[in-house]
Amino acid sequence: MSNLRVRFAPSPTGYLHIGGARTALFNYLLAQKEKGTFVLRIEDTDVARSTQESVDAILQAMDWLGLSCDEGPFYQSQRFDLYQEKIEQLLSEGKAYRCFCTQEELEEKRNRAQAEGRKPKYDGTCRDKTGQSTDQPHVVRFRFPQDGETSFNDRIKGVIRFANEEMDDLIIRRTDGTPTYNFVVVVDDATMGINLVLRGDDHVNNTPRQIPMYEALGFEVPEFAHVPMILGADKARLSKRHGATSVMAYRDMGYLPEAMVNYLVRLGWSFGDEEIFSMDELIEKFSLDNVGKSAGVFNPEKLLWLNAHYIKTGDVSRIADLLKVHLQKLGVDADAGPDLEAVVRSLQERAQTLVEMAEGAKFYFADHVDYEEKAQNKFLTADKKDALEAVIRHLEGMNDCTEESVEKAFAAMMEETGLKFGKFGPSVRVALTGTTSSPSNYEMIAVLGVEESCRRIRAAITALV
């Protein structure tokens, strides 16, 4: 295909959700891979439901994921003149007609048809009417061919056919004069030169309705590729009741964008046994050939695993920057404490999200260590006094404060006192953190520094029970 042109066309009636993000990602990857063009179009023909906040939220989410577009965003609400022109064209060519049926009449007919077991389809009352005054309220319908079939070769699903008699005469202009989705999407995709429409599975049924419109308008019909839906654990379409579905909610929960991208791409696409992909690798390896046909269940645990992976292997200074935000949310001033990068290094292998990391980092920045009751009762007992004092002595005797020197200081202390690590190590941990679960004592002391570490141990000595 020469010069691939794809698009992502969200309607701004909410946040960018997981499913939309994956569709956007697939489009982006394909455009990058083929050195094509990725167009972003905002589908806001439903003026009542579209909001600027939603537009901003979607843009922000795409930016977070690193999905930059080459053209756009274009707004359908600013292209009404074009749609109007095309509707007039179809009208004058007899390919569309005015329909004066009221919504109530239509609804009644639909209900009756359903009750009698017939297809709920427009009955064509106004199809061949003439001489109606255009002053009367009316919609415009597309005159859909009623014979034969419409088919297309979906790049993911293969050949799909529909009998034309199944198709309705779609309303393309509402009574209030605004155009409807199935029409504008055709006009836009055609005039924007989109030659591959890569979108969600839920649009398969729209495709045979749109193809005749391309033809009626004299446009070339693009290729289509429909990516399977994302379902929740109960196999129902993914929705809020399955948990967070907004992409940005995951950022707030401490997820890294590369984890989200990696997770999303593997839901429906695979490359042999590989699980971990950077964006660059994806651009190189992504292909519609390896996109599956069946719907997939959103699995938050695998996303979490990927997130942990990227936290573990991520660039320390970047993680530190991101961590700051989450620390702030916990009311911690990241600048008033030990070196943030050192903090990150000590926590990287222990946190699955940045939120978790921030929680785990809190103790580094605490003025006063709050002891967990159980930990205090078990490890901060009066008989530890001598050992803790010995630890302080040896720590203060160090020339520098690296993990290695701390380890040596502990070794010397054990040598001198004859104590095994288990006799005082956990107590030091509780003195430093207030809990029994943390990075190693050596690491923590190296991060906190001698002065702060000893201050905490002294404080613990005064709190022995």
Partner RNA sequence: GCGCUCAUCGUCUAGCCUGGUCUAGGACACCGCCCUUUCACGGCGGCGACGGGGGUUCGAAUCCCCCUGGGCGUACCA
- Out of 88, 93, 315, 349, the only residue in the binding site for RNA (CB under 7 A) is 349
465 scored as a contact of RNA (CB under 7 A): no
b (16+ CB within 10 A) / e for 350-363 = ebbbbbbbbbbbbb
Q: Given candidates 436, 451, 463, 465, which one binds RNA under the rule CB under 7 A?
A: 436
Pick between residue 166 and residue 284 the one whose CB is nearest to RNA.
166
Q: Which of 51, 68, 132, 290 binds RNA (CB under 7 A)?
A: 290
**Position among 32, 37, 438, 453 found at the interface with RNA (CB under 7 A):** 438
Beta-bridge mates of residue 173: 140, 179
Number of residues forming the site for RNA (CB under 7 A): 85
Angle at 135 between CA 130 and CA 141, to 5 degrees: 55
Q: Which stretch binds RNA (CB under 7 A): 89-97, 265-273, 332-340, 454-462?
A: 265-273
Task: Tell me whether residue 236 or residue 330 sits nearer to RNA (CB atom).
Answer: 236
Token pair 């969200």 is found at 10
148 near RNA (CB under 7 A) = no
Distance, in Å, from the CA atom of 9 to the CA atom of 404, rounded to the nearest integer, reads: 56
Task: Report the residue number, 22 or 326, with the smaller CB distance to RNA.
Answer: 22
Q: Name which of 260 and 336 has its Cβ closer to RNA.
A: 260
Q: Work out whether 410 is an interface residue with RNA (CB under 7 A).
A: yes
Q: Which of residues 187-226 bind RNA (CB under 7 A)?
A: 201-206
List of E strands, 192-350:
196-200, 223-227, 230-231, 296-297
Asked if 40 and 7 count as a contact pair (C-beta separation under 8 A), the reply is yes
Closest CA to 395 of 385, 383, 379, 406: 406
Tokens of 76: 């359908």
Site string for RNA, 1-30 (x = CB under 7 A): ----------x-------------------
Among 110, 345, 408, 423, binds RNA (CB under 7 A): 110
d(CA 444, CA 29): 42
* Tokens standing for residue 187: 């006009």
Cβ distance 40 to 74 under 8 Å? yes
Site for RNA in 47-76 (CB under 7 A): 49
Look at residues 212, 128, 216 and name the one whose alpha carbon lies nearest to residue 164. 212
Backbone angles phi, psi at 156, to 5 degrees: -105, -40
Instruction: Give the footprint of RNA on residues 232-251 (CB under 7 A).
Output: 235-237
The nearest distance, CB 394 to RNA, in angstroms, is: 12
Active site residues: 240
Among 68, 191, 270, 381, which residue sits at the site for RNA (rule: CB under 7 A)?
Answer: 270
